Every structure is written in structure tokens, then in C-alpha cells.
Amino acid sequence: MCRFGIDEAGKGPVLGPMIAACVCVPDESVLPEGIDDSKRLTPAKRGRLSEALLGDEAIGIGIAAVSPDRIDTPETDMNSLTVAAHAEAASEVVEPGMTGICDAGDVDAGRFVHRVGQRLPEGVSLSGEHGADEHHAIVGAASVVAKVERDRRVAALEAAYGEVGSGYPSDPTTREFLAEYVAENGELPECARASWKTSADALAAVEQGTLAEF
């Protein structure tokens, strides 16, 4: 019976989407060697592993993207969006009778698993835990696919806007990009999550600068 793992990348960045991935295998022995939590792998190794996973016809892979616009919707929150992303990625490859495990995206792992499981096909068995991408190769594989896809989309942003950094609020290059873009255009780029404090700070800085001119 096929087994699957689910994980996501990009919950915290101020730029770009959050990506969830589901990896489904007939047997975990088909997974390439070296799978681990994507954060513990170099970009080059993540890329090689993702390519191997995507290129193996025995492995089913589902990917879901949550756009900045969707993240900024007032009626939702990141926990709910993470639940939805896990379920959307899984729905592309998971069928009744399968069993799987996800990396719990909530402080209450049981609650997170229950919410994701409610959205999966009837007859699917799902478990989950914090740090599942470190302890279960099938979840680590999903972590790798999600992270590489997220990085690919950030690279596309750089092609469109110039250097944007990692997209995380702690990255000085990302903060500088936002500040300069807002100063020049008077608004945030479409790739920014407007509901993030980093975005609000960039807008406020320009507004204060404008007021100081009067």
C-alpha cells in the first residue's frame, strides 16, 4: 500500500508564496539516498534530490501554492492556510486506503492532523508530528520538494525585480528591496505579503518621509 508524506516551505517570508508538497511512494525504498529535512541540506543537494524525486515515475508528487493575496485575506490565518495547503497538495496524489504522515504546522499536532485529514479522501489514514521532516524520510522528501519549488519561485522574483534576498523579514537584502521598491513606486510589489509587519514598516517609512517634506 502506498505511503505519503506532506510538508510545506515558506510560512514566514514576507515575499512570495507558501508551498506545500506531498510525496507518495509504493515503498520508501524507492526514495533517493540522502533525504533529510530540507533545512539541513545544501541548495545543491536539495536540487539534486528534488530532481530525482520528480523524475521517478514510481513516485507521485503533488504541489500546492498559497499566494500572497490569499495569505493577506483577512478572513483566514496561517494555520488554516497551512492546513489547506497540505490538503491541496495531497489531493493531487492521495487515494482512499493510503496512509501518510505530515509535519504538524500547529502547536497542537493532533488538531493539525485532524484538520488536514478532514479534507482528504475518505479512507485515508493520516498521522503527524512536529519535526516529522527530520525523523521520517517520506516527509523529508516532501520538505525537499517544497523548498526547491519555493526557491525556484523566489528566483523568478529576482528575474522580475532584481535582487530580493531570501524573502524572509530577517534578511537585510529583502528589507532593502521592499524599502526601495515602495520609495520608488509608492506601493508594495505584488509578491509582498501586505499583512506582514515588514511590509507595513516599509510603507510607513515612506509615508513618514513624505510628511517630513512638508
69 marked ligand binding residue: no
d(CA 184, CA 90): 41
88 marked ligand binding residue: no
CA 143 to chain centre: 9
103 marked ligand binding residue: yes
For 106-133, give one letter per residue: b (16+ CB within 10 A) or e: beebeebbebbbeebeeebebebbeebb
d(CA 88, CA 72): 19
Strands 18-25 and 3-9: antiparallel
Residue stretches of the annotated binding site = 7-8, 103
Q: Which residues are annotated as a binding site for a divalent metal cation?
A: 7-8, 103
